[in-house]
Structure 1
Amino acid sequence: MPGIFGGDDVSAIVVDCGSSTFRIGWAGEDTPRGVIPTAYGWLPDPEEGGDAISKAAAADGNTTSAEDAMEGVEPTGKSTSAAGASTDANETQPDAASTSKSSAAAEKWRAKIYGEKRKRFFGDIAVGMYREGGEIASPLNDEGALSSTASFLAQTEYALRASLQADPREHPLMVTEPSWNSKEMREEMTEIAFEGLQVPAYYLANSTVLSAFAAGKPTALIVDVGENSMSAIPVVDGFILRKGIHRQPIGGRAVSRALFHSLREPPPQSPRAGKLTEIFPHYLIQSKVPVEPGRPPQVKLREDRLKGSTESFRMYHTLKVLNDFKEACAQVMEIPWDESHALQRPSKTYEFPDGYNDSFGVERLRGPEILFNPKSWQGVGDVLPAPASGTADYVGLADLALQAINSTDVDSRAALFSNVVCVGGSTSLPGLTDRLSYEISIKAAGQKIKIHSPGNLVERKYSSWIGGSILSSLGTFHSLWLSKQEYDEHGPALVHARCK
């Protein structure tokens, strides 16, 4: 029965997989126990492609005891695994006891899922470690929906053991989903939980509703600017208004691409002495010599790594450098774009891994402008993805929020205007909330506008996980769990009726 999993008897596990990071932790805690990149590294592994656990068992270098986090480690601490070839992580074999207890159906399902012949590496250090021919991929597509069942299952298994040292068969599991998730994906997530992880109880929660729950607002407009997209979604009395869902594939990664273009092609008015031609990540640098600001870098590269790097691996590290630059220097102007005002703003100095350094002024302001004025970047290189066929042109974040509000009933609009909640890592850009408030106030004159954005960056970045932690720890929530018995009787389609 679902009720036996409620209350304080058994701690639930909350999993929140975003475009940038994968969060996992115990229900009732303030922050997730484990935060790892959603991206994972992989190498072709034709001989061991069917081994479920070995693909998830690359240890995260941030953990203090990587071996203890792996399945297959005996109670005495002696690992039954063999050392990995390219990392200091150990790859382990499946636990014979747990395998024998698995049902034939579950084993058949897992064998089908793990048909991909890949050796996977999870965790910040393991993903970023150079391996000749190593690729970088994600279990999610650009829409935030599940694209690789095997990779998501392997990543969850890794996080459970590396971060929580928990057996999923002993704990209820809550997983978050985007508001635009399809029915097929919802059923597939349910199968992963019950067939792959063999959890005793499960719940699939809407990430937007959880963000509103974390903010303590049953009615709110959730403005989420993530890695790959930005969205404005109205929540009224704890329920999503489907007709009000508005989203665009413009997020933190688009800002990074715009910043890169601004660094390579500075405006004529820029006082910079030189321009950035290419980004060389840390793993390619063998040695470098300090240079004057604006001068070309004097760097010696690792030629073997330059030739052995795949496009996806180098792009992953290039985006990490651009993300660091974005966090250190980028800023959103508090008023609509004005070149003369931007030129008067103070500059910030930054040094890239190859030694190139300079003071950046208008460039650090032009990139984030893509969030509020995407048309200014239309047709500029590959900064903006092409709009989907049959869709309207991209609009700014303020217009997106207004479209979402105007899609709702008139009676709800006043409450939404006064409860605009900003979440997502990219909303931490300085000046973003001020600009959003200014533009909405101008375009919706007469309305009382109030922007709510948690001052704590952790609360803003992990708002959906925090909402799930609060919700699943409530004693009144125990009746909502979907139990294994119910799943066996009705199948994965039951998730649509139980998890609305």
Structure 2
Amino acid sequence: VPALYVVRSSVLAAFAAGRATACVVDLSASGATIGPVIDGYQLNRAVVRSARGGDFLDELVVESLGRPIPPRFSVKRQPLSTPGETRELLDFPLTHPSYSRFWVADVARDLRESVCEIPKVSLDLREVKQRLGEPAPYELPDGNIVRVEPQLHILPDVLFRTQRGEDESSDENQNVEEQGSISELVHAAVARCDLDCRKEMLGSVVLCGGLSLTRGVPERLGHELTKMVPSAFKVKVTAATSVERRFSSWIGGSILASLGSFQQLWLSKEEYDDIGPTLAEKRFNC
């Protein structure tokens, strides 16, 4: 390897949105990461993370259905001629459980992305149908039809609710990361930044990651943050197209690599051999 450059994904997402300073909200399958970026560098002490992500929601989808989800590979491919008919299930006794769990989670993810959404404001279950309407039923791989109840319809709304455990830790920062809603995570990350850059951070909240494609996320996040900050701060949530949000790190990396000054940022093999890993730690803010 003749040269190397290491950069945080939040910095790349900010570059993809055309900003050098931003509060990047990365919502992915594994969880949520809030990374404040100032002048092209991530402020590591202000980063806030949560384990509640797409995988967490998929588990809730499986629980809320109250019925087993057949993996796609175990369903015989056959057309359904009459209403209510189901497809035959095939038996593969040597299939590893992890492979079955993967395909069950894939169906749960597809169901969540197809019928679930987040309301702009917190709604009671009795108000869901009136405010959001009733989504179309979802067909499972075996042909069974799932009627989407209000609880399942707004299931991702749990991301904007604070989870309170019985034995809460005395560490406030740990409580926010483990139990806080997405809006509380963003607010906590901005609060860890210097006072003079908080206004710019709140005016440039950048959404990225596959989970951010859930309908209603930008509107709900902007609404919640506006209520949490003083009226002098204007909250602006930037949500690019679905492709740009899903591949924001790759797009930002392409933009960074195309800069004429990018070669000056590299760590060459000669520099590493002369100085060692301490230069990498200093240059890449590790």
Q: What amino acid does structure 2 have at the position aligned with 1:369?
A: D
Give the percent of matched residue pairs that are identical in Structure 1 and Structure 2.
32
What's the counterpart of residue 106 of structure 2? Answer: 320
- The one of 331, 349, 354 equivalent to 2:117 is 331
* Structure 1 residue 209 displacement after superposition: 1.0
SS in 1 for 2:225: helix
* Structure 1 residue 387 displacement after superposition: 9.5
Residues 32 and 52 in structure 2, CA contact (< 8 A), matched pair in contact too = yes
Residues 221 and 232 in structure 1, CA contact (< 8 A), matched pair in contact too = yes
What's the counterpart of residue 83 of structure 1? Answer: none
Unpaired runs of at least 5, structure 2: none
C-alpha change, 1:486 and 1:472, in structure 2 (3 Å) is same
What's the counterpart of residue 354 of structure 1? Answer: 142
- The one of 210, 218, 222 equivalent to 1:437 is 222
C-alpha change, 1:375 and 1:354, in structure 2 (3 Å) is same
CA RMSD, Structure 1 to Structure 2 (Å): 2.5
Following the alignment from structure 1 to structure 2, what is the Cα–Cα distance between the partners of residues 207 and 229? 14
Following the alignment from structure 1 to structure 2, what is the Cα–Cα distance between the partners of residues 494 and 355? 59
* Structure 1 residue 287 displacement after superposition: 5.2
- The one of 224, 231, 236 equivalent to 1:450 is 236
Count of residues paired in the alignment: 278
Residues 25 and 32 in structure 2, CA contact (< 8 A), matched pair in contact too = yes
- The one of 37, 51, 56 equivalent to 1:249 is 51
1:463 aligns with 2:251: no
Residues 119 and 216 in structure 2, CA contact (< 8 A), matched pair in contact too = yes
Superposed counterparts of 1:367-406, under 5 Å: 367-375=155-163, 391-392=174-175, 393-406=178-191
- The one of 127, 138, 143 equivalent to 1:341 is 127
| Rg (Cα) greater in structure | 1
Following the alignment from structure 2 to structure 1, what is the Cα–Cα distance between the partners of residues 7 and 53? 23
SS in 2 for 1:204: coil
Superposed counterparts of 1:42-441, under 5 Å: 199-264=1-66, 277-286=67-76, 290=80, 298-303=86-91, 305=92, 307-344=93-130, 345-375=133-163, 391-392=174-175, 393-441=178-226
Following the alignment from structure 1 to structure 2, what is the Cα–Cα distance between the partners of residues 243 and 492? 22
C-alpha change, 1:289 and 1:399, in structure 2 (3 Å) is same
* Structure 1 residue 253 displacement after superposition: 1.1
C-alpha change, 1:215 and 1:448, in structure 2 (3 Å) is same
Unpaired runs of at least 5, structure 1: 1-198, 265-276, 380-385
Following the alignment from structure 2 to structure 1, what is the Cα–Cα distance between the partners of residues 276 and 38? 30
Residues 80 and 87 in structure 2, CA contact (< 8 A), matched pair in contact too = no
* Structure 1 residue 218 displacement after superposition: 1.5
Following the alignment from structure 1 to structure 2, what is the Cα–Cα distance between the partners of residues 493 and 300? 61
Q: What amino acid does structure 1 have at the position aligned with 2:146?
A: D
Which structure is higher in RCO with an 8 Å CA cutoff and minimum separation 6? Answer: 2
Residues 291 and 355 in structure 1, CA contact (< 8 A), matched pair in contact too = no
Q: Could you report, residue by residue, the CA deviation over 1:272-328 in whole angstroms, capped at 9, with x for unpaired residues?
A: xxxxx11111111125674988x6x7443222x2x2121211111111111111221
Q: Which moved more, 1:479-488 or 1:311-320?
A: 479-488
Following the alignment from structure 1 to structure 2, what is the Cα–Cα distance between the partners of residues 203 and 355? 50
Normalized per residue, the structure richer in helix is: 2
Following the alignment from structure 1 to structure 2, what is the Cα–Cα distance between the partners of residues 481 and 442? 43
Q: Could you report, residue by residue, the CA deviation over 1:134-173 in whole angstroms, capped at 9, with x for unpaired residues?
A: xxxxxxxxxxxxxxxxxxxxxxxxxxxxxxxxxxxxxxxx
1:477 aligns with 2:279: no
SS in 1 for 2:108: helix
